[in-house]
Amino acid sequence: MEKILEVKDLSVSFQTYGGEVQAVRNVNFDLYKGETLAIVGESGSGKSVTTQTIMKLIPMPPGKIKSGQILFEGKDIVPLSDKQMEKVRGKEISMIFQDPMTSLNPTMKIGRQIMEGLIKHQNMSTSSAKERAIEMLRLVGIPMPERRVNQYPHEFSGGMRQRAMIAIALAANPKLLIADEPTTALDVTIQAQILELMKDLQSKMNTSIIFITHDLGVVANVADRVAVMYGGQIVETGTVDEIFYDPRHPYTWGLLASMPSLENDDKSELAAIPGTPPDLTNPPKGDAFAARNPYAMQIDFEEEPPLFQISETHFAKTWLLHPDAPAVEPPDAVKRRMRKLSSTFDKPVLVKGGK
In DSSP terms, 40 is beta-bridged to 213, 228
Which residues on neighbouring strands pair with residue 94, listed in sequence order? Answer: 177
In the chain, the DSSP E strands lie at 3-16, 19-32, 36-40, 63-72, 75-76, 93-96, 176-180, 208-213, 225-230, 233-239, 308-309, 315-316
Residue 179 bridge partners (DSSP): 96, 211
pLDDT above 90 for 110: yes
State the pLDDT at residue 267.
54
Lowest mean pLDDT among 96-110, 215-229, 316-330: 96-110
Count Cβ atoms within 10 A of the Cβ of residue 192 and give its class: 0-12 exposed, 13-18 middle, 19 or more buried: middle
Supply the pLDDT for residue 341: 63
pLDDT category of residue 346 using cuts at 50, 70 and 90: low
* DSSP letters spanning 162-186: HHHHHHHHHTT--SEEEEESTTTTS
Backbone angles phi, psi at 50, to 5 degrees: -60, -50
Q: What is the DSSP letter of 216?
A: G
- Three-class DSSP category at 204: helix
Those residues with Cβ within 8 angstroms of residue 343's Cβ, 6 or more apart along the chain or in another chain: none
| Global pTM value | 0.88
Q: How far apart are CA 110 and CA 101, in angstroms?
A: 12
3-state SS of 32-54 is: ECCCEEEEECCCCCCHHHHHHHH
In whole angstroms, give the CA distance from residue 13 to residue 62: 8
Summarised one tens digit per residue, pLDDT across range 174-227 is 899 999 887 776 677 777 887 888 888 888 888 899 999 887 878 887 899 999
Each residue of 27-71: pLDDT tens digit?
Answer: 999 999 999 999 999 888 999 999 999 999 998 889 999 999 999
Asked if 186 contacts 213 with a C-beta cutoff of 8 angstroms, the reply is no
Residue 66 has a pLDDT of 95
Three-state DSSP at 89 gives strand
Quote the CA–CA distance of 328 and 77 in Å, as a whole number.
Answer: 42
CA dist 19 and 280 (Å) reads 9
Q: What is the pLDDT of residues 233-265, one digit of tens each?
A: 999 999 999 999 899 999 999 998 887 665 555
Task: Give me the helices (H) in 206-292, please.
Answer: 240-245, 250-257
Write down all domains in the chain, each with its CATH number in brackets. Answer: 100-173 (no CATH), 227-345 (3.40.50.300)
